[in-house]
Amino acid sequence: MGEVAVIGLGAMGRAIAGNLVRAGHEVVVWNRSAGPAEQLEQHGAVRVASVAEAFQCAVVFSVLSDDTACAEAFLDSGVLGEARPGAVHVNIATVSAGLARRAADAHAAHGIGYLAAPVFGRVNVAEAGALNILAAGAPALIDRVQPLFDIIGSRTWRLGERPEQANIAKILGNYLIACTIQSLGEAVSVADAAGTDPSQFIELLTATLFPGPVYSGYGSMIAQRKYQPAGFTTALGRKDLHLALEAAADQAVTLPFGELLSGVFDQAIADGRAADDWAVIAEQQPR
C-alpha cells in the first residue's frame, strides 16, 4: 500500500493530494464519489474503494467537512481497529474540540497516531502549496509528517500537544473572519448610501488601514456583490461560528458578536444563500 493517503477529495483535498503526487509520493486516494479520485488516478494516484484500505498507509490525511463526516468515516466505522499499526492520521478538518478529544482517545486506543492540522488558506493557496498549517499533537508525530507539511504548506504553526488546541485556533480565526465580513458589510453599506464608490472605498481601506488578504479579498466580494464561486460557503461559515460559540462556552467565555452573527447567518441561509460564499452575509445589511 502507498506511503500516504488522502481521504476526502473536495477542492481542498484534491489540491493537497495533487501536490503530494507532483512531489513524487505514492499517494492513495479515497472519496465518497468516484469522480475526483478517478481524476487524480490519471495523474498517478492510487484509487482505493474504502476508507479502511486508505488506513493501510503509513500516513493518512483526511480532509472532510465536519464532525459528523469525520465520526462516520473513522470513529464509528471500525476502521481504526484494522489500520496499519503505527500509522499517523492527520485530520485537516475544522472540527469541534470535543470531536478532537474523542478522536485522539480512539486513535490512542488502537495504537494510531493522531494530529490535528487544520489550515488557513483558500483553494488557490492550497494549489500553490502555500497553506498555513495549524498543527497540534505529539511533537514526534509532527516531526514525522513535517516533510509532507512542507509540500502542502508554507509554514507549520505548532500550537500544542493536544489536538484540540489547533482546532480551537482555527475556529477562532474563522470567527474573526466572520466578524470582519460583518463589519465590512456595514461600512460599505453606509459608504454606498452616501455616494462613495464601494470598490474605491475598499481600495482605500486595504491600502491604508487594513492591508491583508481578509480585508482585500472579502472587501472586493462585498463591493462587487459577487459571491460565486464560493471559496467557503455560508453553510460552512455558520457551522464554524457555532463551533466558536461552543468553544467559548466550554471556557465560560461569552462572544457577544458571535451571538449577533448567529442570527445573521441563520437569516442568510433562510434567504437561500447557503451555497454562496459566506461574504454574502454582508447582504443582510441593507444597501
Q: For domain 4-161, which architecture applies?
A: 3-Layer(aba) Sandwich (3.40)
Q: Note the pLDDT of residue 61.
A: 98
The pairing of beta strand 131-135 with beta strand 119-120: antiparallel
pTM over 0.85: yes
SS3 240: helix
| Pairwise CA distance, residues 197 & 95, whole Å | 39
Identify the active-site residue in 14, 47, 107, 170: 170
> 148: number of CA atoms within 13 Å, CB side?
27
Q: Which of 12, 18, 16 is nearest to 42 (CA)?
A: 18
For 148-195, what is each residue's pLDDT tens digit? 999 999 999 999 999 999 999 999 999 999 999 999 999 999 999 999
Q: Note the pLDDT of residue 152.
A: 98
The question of whether 226 is a catalytic residue gets the answer: no
Split at pLDDT 50, 70, 90, the class of 2 is low
Q: Residue ranges per domain, the chain?
A: 4-161, 167-284
* Residue 256 pLDDT > 80: yes
Q: Note the pLDDT of residue 112.
A: 98
**Fold observed for domain 167-284:** N-(1-d-carboxylethyl)-l-norvaline Dehydrogenase; domain 2 (1.10.1040)
- Helix intervals (H) in 73-197: 97-109, 123-127, 139-152, 163-193
**What nine digits make up the cell of 76?**
464509528
SS3 5: strand
